[in-house]
Amino acid sequence: MPHDNPTDAANLRSGVLVSTLSIAWTVAASTVSIVAGVGAGNLVLVSFGCTGLLDAAGSIALVVHFRHALKHETFSQRHERVAFLVVTGGLLVVASATAADSLVRLVSGTHGRQTVAGVVVAAASIVVLALLARRKIELGRGIPSQALVADGLLSTTGAVLAAVTVLGTLVSATLWWADPVAALVVATGALAGALVLVRS
């Protein structure tokens, strides 16, 4: 898709910007969530962090994709497919692994502890990811880029999963099974999000 129209080039540059911001936030938030989750044995925080890293990987693919389009003044369908597959394929893997681990923990009675850092980051992610998701979907429709729309839906899923993460982590202080159940909800949500992306 050539972008002789200045609006097309502007949308692509905005796509690079929002994807770069998404990378910065998700890498930072995911690192804190995973480290805090592993240290506390909190599965839902680890799952949330892994989902965020996938969002970052998808955004990296999109930055490469849009920069290529700006440089060569053509829209590469191959880069579009790669970005889309990075988002959906990785999400399916993490969702499946998290669901399996959640079920094992429920059966064995294994549970983790609360962690303030993880809860704070997840709570902040509810707002940040919701704002990023809205912008990604708007730009994805304007470019148009199904991969960016898909990444926007992934960020929307991440915002919902952040809310579930906060709730599950707080409740796990009194109910041991809240952490694996919340992680299972995260996995189910991630799987549902991936299937929606594939169907779209």
Q: What is the pLDDT of residues 27-76, one digit of tens each?
A: 999 999 999 989 888 878 888 898 888 889 889 999 999 999 898 877 78
Give domain status of residue 121, yes or no. yes
Domain residues for the domain of 175 are 6-199
Give domain status of residue 90, yes or no. yes
Band of residue 5 on the pLDDT scale cut at 50, 70, 90: low
Residue bearing the bigger pLDDT, 150 or 17: 17
Mean pLDDT of 159-183: 82
CA R_g for the chain: 17
Mean pLDDT of 142-146: 88
Give domain status of residue 88, yes or no. yes
Give the model confidence (pLDDT) of 176-196 as tens digits.
888 788 878 878 887 887 787
Residue bearing the bigger pLDDT, 2 or 130: 130
Distance CA 84, CA 86 (A): 6
pLDDT at residue 136, rounded to an integer: 95
pLDDT at residue 1, rounded to an integer: 46
pLDDT at residue 200, rounded to an integer: 67
- Residue in 33, 70, 71, 67 with CA at minimum distance from that of residue 49: 33
Give domain status of residue 1, yes or no. no
pLDDT at residue 106, rounded to an integer: 87
Number of structural domains found in the chain: 1
Give domain status of residue 82, yes or no. yes
Distance CA 63, CA 67 (A): 6
Band of residue 6 on the pLDDT scale cut at 50, 70, 90: low
pTM of the predicted model as reported, rounded to 2 decimal places? 0.82
Give domain status of residue 148, yes or no. yes
First to last CA, the chain: 20
* Side-chain half-sphere CA neighbours of 30 within 13 A: 21
Give the model confidence (pLDDT) of 86-137 as tens digits.
878 877 887 888 888 888 888 888 766 778 888 899 999 999 999 999 999 9
